[in-house]
A and B are shown apart, each in its own frame.
Chain A
Amino acid sequence: EAGVAQSPRYKIIEKRQSVAFWCNPISGHATLYWYQQILGQGPKLLIQFQNNGVVDDSQLPKDRFSAERLKGVDSTLKIQPAKLEDSAVYLCASSSLQLSGNTIYFGEGSWLTVV
């Protein structure tokens, strides 16, 4: 079974530039998450989707971050304009109550460096 796919794996941009990350969840998983993991810290939830609707985006910095999941499958996370403190790993994850119970599966992450 294919896992959660993310791209690009690595990205280096200058501050004030924009970047977009893409995620394709495990097939059939209705719930999709984006987490931010800063070096030396645990992952922090940015946004959670159920199908194409937002369940929780309370920790998403909406002045610069946006995310969408238009068709309820893959998702894009965008940062514009980027700040130095946005340097982190952006982890996409997915789950399905029917297919995976309460287990959340993670992708390998997209590593962002802002210089």
Chain B
Amino acid sequence: AQSVTQLGSHVSVSEGALVLLRCNYSSSVPPYLFWYVQYPNQGLQLLLKYTTGATLVKGINGFEAEFKKSETSFHLTKPSAHMSDAAEYFCAVSGYSSARQLTFGSGTQLTVLP
């Protein structure tokens, strides 16, 4: 069984400030981890993913995330927020079974203040 907890349903940052969105997971097998972004009235777009190898992964739009097995975490960061980053962000986990299903967290709404 797998689950994802996203701490903070709403996060506000000033433009140019560090963005930190928290994600903790639970998985009975080594996980694959994902961050998706959802802009208003749109579907989900993949930001980045961790499967194997390097634990620090870089994604689109300047975002990155680090897989920390000991902390069961996969927090999303961006050094400098931009107004266009305002959106909802979802962390998701899957196992490497053939089913390849995603289990999502409840999401974090990011607001960027001018």
Q: Which A residues fall within an 8 A CB radius of B?
A: 4, 31, 33, 40-45, 48, 55-56, 91, 93, 95, 97, 101-109, 111
Contacts and interface: CB of A to CB of B under 8 A. Distances in A.
23 contacts: A41-B106, A42-B104, A42-B106, A43-B44, A44-B104, A45-B101, A45-B102, A48-B101, A55-B99, A91-B43, A91-B44, A95-B100, A102-B32, A102-B49, A102-B100, A103-B46, A103-B49, A104-B100, A106-B36, A106-B43, A106-B45, A108-B41, A111-B41
Contacts of A93: 44
A79 to B, nearest CB: 19
B80 to A, nearest CB: 27
A31 B100 contact: yes
A97 B106 contact: no
Contacts of B25: none
B6 to A, nearest CB: 8
B74 interface: no
B49 A109 contact: no
Contacts of B42: 108-109
Which 8 A-B residue pairs are closest in the complex by CB-CB distance? A42-B104, A106-B44, A108-B43, A106-B43, A42-B106, A109-B43, A43-B104, A107-B43
B91 to A, nearest CB: 9
B35 interface: no
Contacts of B32: 102
Interface in B52-70: none
Contacts of B77: none
Interface in B70-105: 90, 92, 94, 96, 99-105
Nearest to A104: B102
Contacts of A103: 46, 49
Contacts of A102: 32, 49, 51, 94, 96, 100
Contacts of B46: 103, 105
Nearest to A92: B43
